[in-house]
């Protein structure tokens, strides 16, 4: 699994070397964005997730703990209240003899004291070991009633005491019944039974001080309400099942309340009697701060993620553009180096060839020259004219060869540069004087657009003349008689001046344009050596300038040269 993931990462870091450059940079950019977003967003999301859960737990504890404490406290109050009443009944059962309790007058007196001192007692009665009501004080006439068959009677006999569920008794007030069994020293047993109204329950619940949205009540083990509830129903109605799981310690669960609200349900089971105290608090109320926090967290997360993605996107874009630019620069420099290298190695070859040919050409020259001499100096040489013309053709051919080898050597040599401060317009005009006659003869439209305030530059006069002469020769060759050739000079920027030579001649195809600076490439058939533009290119490069060519077949050509006002470092001045 980990290995697989590692491979995936490695793959993300890998950018194909092959293929379309544009697509490669796009892949590089995409991978960078993905990696950067992953390494920034994953920790952020992880932190947000952890924080979310920690906050939630902390806040929940903060809400749940007071609820638990409240439930525990109230439960104890209930237990204390019931235990107090039960021990009162138990005390009376022990303190008085059977005979005293059986006497209704005595019982009545005791009952009145109980009512006064403790409150909540509704009636009091004595039941003998057979379940027969012996005496009774209270609103009902229960004397002589037989309880022997009732379940509470059996329970009190087994456990010694009994507390009933709530029932609607006297005047439709909810009541509970308490009973205590007493065994005298003689072994006689009797049961003292009292009814208590549950007004006190309501007081205990009210003392919890709950807010109006919350609810608190007591249930029995069957889920019947022992005290009225605000939202669920009145006394003796049924609590919607299920009941919370049994727990004698205060516990809090999450539940659906009435009207479908999410609520916290805090509760505790009583050991004796079998009651359950329940407090219901709506979640929305208590978790208000949590919801605020949660939405703040979400907004923070969304905003920071957005910023991260935006920044990553921009940074990746900038970085990839930089990489691309430097790649392109490197490639251009490499191409230029290659071109220079090609020129210089061809130059060496050309020089070698030129030198080797010069020697045999010299022999031909001298031998033919000697022949000519002999023919000329000897009178009556048979067919003198014929031989002379033959020898002259040989000598002319030698001259042609010599001009070729000289050009080759010129190309190889690329001559030394002599820097002087010069007026470019002047150089252009000087160069034009070589060609004025041809222009006149061919009726060419020569246009001079020379910038009048062109700054003087430091460059090589002779080399520039050669360059312009080459361009003008090419332009003249490209136009028909009566065609147009324009020369323009201007100041390009603070460091550069420009010269362009435009013609409206035949122009060049794209294929030709690609090769014009290559040595020995020519379109002039036998007229050209294919060295003019390569030499020009070499000169301009050496002078620290640039050449630009624009051409369209049938429309003409513009050759533009940009020259530095000051020569590059490393050139002799």
- Among residues 362, 421, 440, 549, the one that binds other proteins under rule CB under 8 A: 362
- Cα–Cα distances in angstroms (integers) from residue 535 to residues 352, 417, 518, 554, in the given order: 17, 13, 10, 26
Say if residues 350 and 414 touch (Cβ distance below 8 Å).
Answer: no
Q: Cα-flanking dihedrals φ and ψ of residue 18, to 5°?
A: -85, 175
Say if residues 493 and 459 touch (Cβ distance below 8 Å).
Answer: no
Q: According to the binding rule CB under 8 A, does residue 406 interact with other proteins?
A: yes
User: Among 274, 239, 314, 307, which residue's Cα sits nearest to residue 29?
Assistant: 314
User: Among 285, 278, 280, 225, which residue's Cα sits nearest to residue 257?
Assistant: 280
**Span interacting with other proteins, options 171-179, 350-358, 382-390, 425-433, rule CB under 8 A:** 350-358
Tell me how far, at minimum, the Cβ of 473 lies from other proteins, in Å. Answer: 24
Residue 351 vs 571, nearer CB to other proteins: 351
Q: According to the binding rule CB under 8 A, does residue 349 interact with other proteins?
A: no
Distance of alpha carbon 543 from its chain centroid, rounded?
A: 50
**Span interacting with other proteins, options 46-54, 69-77, 399-407, 474-482, rule CB under 8 A:** 399-407
User: Among 278, 284, 120, 274, which residue's Cα sits nearest to residue 210?
Assistant: 278
Q: Name, in order, each residue with C-beta under 8 angstroms of 542's C-beta and a sequence gap of 6 or more.
A: 414, 417, 463, 571
Q: According to the binding rule CB under 8 A, does residue 366 interact with other proteins?
A: yes
Is the bond preceding residue 456 a cis peptide, omega within 30 degrees? no
Residue 23 vs 374, nearer CB to other proteins: 374
Residue 154 vs 402, nearer CB to other proteins: 402
**Span interacting with other proteins, options 41-49, 95-103, 341-349, 363-371, rule CB under 8 A:** 363-371
Residue 142 vs 364, nearer CB to other proteins: 364
Q: Cα-flanking dihedrals φ and ψ of residue 59, to 5°?
A: -65, -40
Q: According to the binding rule CB under 8 A, does residue 373 interact with other proteins?
A: yes
Q: Name, in order, each residue with C-beta under 8 angstroms of 530's C-beta and a sequence gap of 6 or more.
A: 518, 519, 520, 521, 522
Q: According to the binding rule CB under 8 A, does residue 135 interact with other proteins?
A: no
Residue 374 vs 448, nearer CB to other proteins: 374
Residue 288 vs 406, nearer CB to other proteins: 406
Residue 159 vs 367, nearer CB to other proteins: 367
Q: According to the binding rule CB under 8 A, does residue 403 interact with other proteins?
A: no
Cβ density class 76-88: b for 16+ within 10 Å, e for less: ebbbebbeebbeb
- Among residues 12, 236, 364, 484, the one that binds other proteins under rule CB under 8 A: 364
Q: According to the binding rule CB under 8 A, does residue 370 interact with other proteins?
A: yes
**Span interacting with other proteins, options 104-112, 115-123, 257-265, 357-365, rule CB under 8 A:** 357-365
Residue 47 vs 370, nearer CB to other proteins: 370
Neighbours of 19 (CB within 10 A): 10
Q: Cα-flanking dihedrals φ and ψ of residue 225, to 5°?
A: -65, 130
Is the bond preceding residue 479 a cis peptide, omega within 30 degrees? no
Q: According to the binding rule CB under 8 A, does residue 420 interact with other proteins?
A: no
What is the β-pairing status of strands 556-564 and 546-552? Answer: antiparallel
Tell me how far, at minimum, the Cβ of 537 lies from other proteins, in Å. Answer: 21
Q: According to the binding rule CB under 8 A, does residue 58 interact with other proteins?
A: no
**Span interacting with other proteins, options 10-18, 130-138, 154-162, 409-417, rule CB under 8 A:** 409-417
**Span interacting with other proteins, options 176-184, 297-305, 354-362, 509-517, rule CB under 8 A:** 354-362
- 3-state secondary structure (DSSP) of residue 573: coil
Tell me how far, at minimum, the Cβ of 570 lies from other proteins, in Å. Answer: 19
| Binding stretches for other proteins (CB under 8 A) | 351, 355-356, 358-359, 361-367, 369-370, 373, 377, 398, 401-402, 406, 413, 415-416
């Amino acid at each position: 699994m980990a290995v697989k993931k590692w491979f995936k990462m490695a793959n993300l870091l890998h950018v194909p070397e092959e293929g379309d450059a544009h697509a490669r940079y796009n892949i590089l950019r995409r991978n960078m964005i993905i990696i950067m977003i992953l390494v920034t967003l994953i920790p952020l999301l992880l932190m947000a997730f952890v924080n979310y859960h920690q906050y939630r737990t902390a806040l929940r504890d903060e809400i749940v703990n007071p609820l638990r404490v409240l439930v525990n406290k109230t439960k104890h109050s209930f237990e204390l209240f019931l235990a107090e009443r039960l021990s009162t009944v138990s005390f009376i059962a022990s303190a008085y003899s059977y005979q005293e309790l059986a006497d209704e007058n005595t019982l009545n007196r005791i009952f009145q004291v109980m009512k006064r001192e403790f409150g909540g007692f509704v009636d009091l009665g004595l039941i003998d070991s057979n379940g027969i009501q012996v005496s009774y004080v209270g609103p009902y006439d229960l004397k002589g009633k037989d309880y022997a068959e009732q379940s509470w009677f059996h329970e009190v006999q087994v456990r010694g005491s009994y507390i009933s569920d709530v029932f609607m008794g006297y005047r439709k007030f909810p009541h509970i019944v308490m009973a205590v069994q007493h065994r005298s020293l003689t072994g006689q047993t009797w049961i003292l039974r009292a009814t208590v109204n549950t007004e006190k329950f309501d007081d205990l619940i009210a003392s919890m001080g709950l807010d109006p949205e919350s609810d608190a009540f007591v249930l029995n083990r069957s889920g019947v309400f022992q005290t009225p509830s605000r939202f669920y129903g009145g006394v003796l109605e049924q609590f919607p099942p299920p009941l919370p799981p049994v727990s004698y310690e205060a516990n809090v669960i999450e539940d659906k309340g009435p009207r479908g609200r999410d609520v916290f349900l805090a509760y505790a089971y009583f050991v004796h009697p079998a009651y359950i105290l329940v407090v219901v608090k709506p979640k929305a109320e208590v978790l208000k701060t949590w919801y605020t926090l949660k939405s703040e967290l979400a907004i923070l997360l969304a905003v920071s993620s957005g910023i991260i993605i935006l920044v990553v996107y921009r940074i990746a874009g900038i970085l990839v553009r930089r990489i691309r630019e430097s790649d392109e620069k490197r490639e251009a420099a490499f191409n230029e180096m290659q071109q220079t290298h090609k020129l210089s190695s061809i130059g060496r070859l050309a020089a070698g060839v030129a030198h080797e040919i010069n020697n045999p050409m010299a022999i031909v020259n001298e031998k033919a020259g000697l022949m000519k001499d002999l023919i000329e100096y000897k009178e009556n040489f048979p067919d003198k004219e014929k031989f002379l013309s033959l020898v002259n053709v040989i000598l002319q051919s030698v001259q042609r060869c010599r001009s070729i080898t000289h050009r080759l050597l010129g190309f190889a040599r690329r001559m030394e540069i002599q820097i002087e401060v010069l007026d470019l317009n002047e150089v252009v005009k000087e160069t034009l004087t070589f060609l004025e006659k041809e222009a006149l003869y061919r009726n060419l439209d020569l246009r001079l657009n020379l910038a009048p305030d062109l700054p003087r530059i430091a460059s090589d006069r002779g080399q520039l003349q050669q360059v312009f002469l080459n361009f003008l020769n090419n332009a003249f060759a490209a136009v028909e008689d009566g065609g147009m050739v324009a020369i323009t000079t201007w100041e390009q920027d603070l460091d550069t001046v420009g010269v362009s030579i435009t013609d409206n001649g035949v122009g060049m195809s794209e294929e030709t344009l690609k090769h014009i600076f290559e040595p020995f490439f020519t379109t002039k058939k036998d007229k050209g050596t294919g060295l003019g533009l390569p030499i020009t290119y070499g000169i301009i490069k050496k002078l620290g300038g640039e050449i630009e060519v624009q051409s369209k077949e049938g429309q003409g050509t513009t050759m533009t040269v940009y020259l530095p006002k000051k020569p590059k470092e490393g050139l002799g001045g």
